[in-house]
Amino acid sequence: MAPVRFTFRVILPPNRGSRFRPPQNHSANESPALSSSAMNSWKPRFLLWFAGPGSAGPPGYLLPRWLFLRALGIIYFSAFYSLAFQIRGLLGPDGLLPAGMYLDQVAEVLGRSRYWYAPTLLWLGSSDRALMALCWVGMIASVLLVLNLWPRGMLAICFVLFLSFVAAAQEFASYQSDGMLLAAGFISFFFVPGGFRPGWGAQAPPSRASFWLLRLLWFSIYFESGVAKYFGGDPSWHDLTAMDQYYQNGPLPTWIGWYAQQLPHKFHACTAFLTLLVELLLVWLVFLPRRFRITCFFVVTSLQIGIILTANYAFLNYLVLSLGFLLLDDRFVVKFMPSRWAAAVRENLQQPPASAEKETLVELDLHSLSPSDLPAEEVSLRSDTPESSTPGITMQFRAFLSGAGLWLSGILLAWLLYANFFLIVTRIYRRAPLASEPVSLLEPFRIADSYGLFGRMTWRRYEIEFQGSNDGLNWVAYPFRNKPQDPAAAPRIYAPYQPRFDWNMWFASLGYWRENPWVLRAEELLLSNDRDVLALFAANPFPQAPPKQVRAVLWEYWFTDLATKRATHMWWRREYRGLYAPALEPGAGGKFVVTAMPDTLQPLP
């Protein structure tokens, strides 16, 4: 009988042929092995190119990915760690904005759609124990992410738990940094290598879509902020005076920021110009060849380090700095790695450069092979028994599931790509003829946000201070943990820790008390010495019994100058501006009596 030969035309992605060998002579004991992924009809070429593993070989992005994911784990840990000391006072049943009460109101208004518009596990329970469990599980998962143990699973846990907090935290999660972390965490789920201990992830290079989405996130944070600054209507960015009072009036300055404030106007004008130059022009280097991207990395990293040293913006700048790692590649980073640490990366770089996908002809000589030589899939095709067809059906089902997962990843990544493109374009041209519905559907998840950091500068610094009294004449201040209060206390550096209560006190000072009802709620809870709310402060000035009256007053603050500091050792000077909110005392039946009202409305900063 003449030999029967079948020729298959198989598309092999570049440098991915280790699982699929070209035609060669086989001995009687050898059999050709076909890659199931190459023959999977559920994974078309365009989808593999877009959402599948990227190409091996130079320049490589294994080390930048590894560095970014470890940094992301540290940032997640800082977020959950800071919440562990605050979440009961913020969202607990007796906190400032109880999550349970908020979710009840959402359910009453939205009905069944509440789970989409408030995506949180706290629907299952929002007790103090549930809130603390959220923080502890988040911290454990973030540590395992740092240790590179099942990183994809840990990313999923961190994302779901942090989203659960953000979706129920109301005013205490209204920061742009929260959306940045959620966006980076969600995209990283598709960016991270699979497996329990993936190491450098050499077997699964980052997909093109996830990699460029993270770069696009980095770009949009800078560029949209630059557009908001220069085109947002604040004249101080046009005349380069925006930085003149920046270090003094930012949310939570540092002691290094005090010294930066003393520098002359020319320095502040240069930093304002440099900020606009970086955010509007330099960041476009991300789309140019590698030498431009590496240059851009060093410039923006220096900028972020300067911001970190002079202001406490929690994990925001650490996240933006970490995203900058993705401007680098293995060819650059491996130079700084010990040779024994990155052997797999160096081996990957020795492969031929990525090129267009190529076709390989594979010949199978079925005459020279016995059934025992064929893989299980081929044997199942020659058998007529139902039992022997099971392996083939199983493989087909697995191929279907694998293809379905890739399709789902591709659809989600394409959705995010459109949302980011929409937000960037509409920031420039608001009337762009683009559909907004796909972007609106993602809003509850905060994974495609619009950014605009410091589009308008603040020109005064007000600080709210809670005070208690037993006679209405002598008032004692409740000391804050982190925000400016004592003029003799040096501003500290504590980022990436995020004191959300202190932060919101600064934001509340930019508005009026009627816009921030949680300030009155804080007064009410201080009148009962609520343990969880008192934990938000550095100490309780009324440890024996709660005060009879509580009020919130407003101070205006300025940095001292060098001469004043040398003479008085004071970092701040301040002036009393009056009541910020109504003063309260306990009334009959659990109600509260207003003892004083603010006289006038202070001008907004």
pLDDT tens digits, one per residue of 400-410: 888 888 999 99
- The interaxial angle of helices 316-323 and 62-84, nearest 10 deg, is 170
Q: How far is CA 407 from CA 50, 410, 521, 567, in A?
A: 10, 5, 48, 68
CA distance 212 to 293: 13
Tokens of residue 360, six digits: 């390989």
CA distance 323 to 218: 6
CA distance 346 to 351: 9
Residue 210: which of 415, 477, 35 has the closest Cα?
415
Under 8 Å between Cβ of 476 and 469? yes
> What is the residue-wise DSSP string for 414-443?
HHHHHHHHHHHHHHH-TT-----HHHHHHG
CA distance 504 to 464: 10
| pLDDT for res 390 | 59
- pLDDT score of 180 more than 90: yes
- Which residues are CB-contacts of 270 (< 8 A; sequence separation ≥ 6)? none
Averaged pLDDT score across all residues of the chain: 87
Residue 578: which of 605, 545, 551, 541 has the closest Cα?
551
CA distance 249 to 244: 10
Average pLDDT over residues 351-369: 48
Average pLDDT over residues 191-217: 93
| pLDDT for res 359 | 41
Tokens of residue 349, six digits: 């770089």
Residue given tokens 């220096």 in the structure block: 302
- pLDDT score of 248 more than 60: yes
Number of H helices, E strands in the chain: 23, 7
Hey, how many other C-beta atoms are within 10 angstroms of the C-beta on 93?
Answer: 14
Residue given tokens 């816009």 in the structure block: 515
**Among residues of the chain, what percentage have pLDDT more than 90?**
72
- pLDDT score of 498 more than 80: yes
Average pLDDT over residues 162-187: 96
Range of 52-56, 379-383, 525-529 with top mean pLDDT: 525-529
- pLDDT score of 364 more than 70: no
State the alpha helices, DSSP H only, in 455-559: 500-509, 518-526, 531-534
Residue given tokens 């093109």 in the structure block: 208
Query: 432-476, pLDDT tens digit by residue?
Result: 899 999 999 999 999 999 898 888 899 999 999 999 999 999 999
366 pLDDT band, cuts 50/70/90, is: very low
Query: 560-598, pLDDT tens digit by residue?
Result: 999 999 999 999 999 999 999 999 999 988 899 999 999
Give the lowest-confidence range in 184-188, 352-356, 422-426, 529-533.
352-356
- pLDDT score of 539 more than 90: yes
| pLDDT for res 401 | 86
- Which residues are CB-contacts of 335 (< 8 A; sequence separation ≥ 6)? none
365 pLDDT band, cuts 50/70/90, is: very low
| pLDDT for res 396 | 83
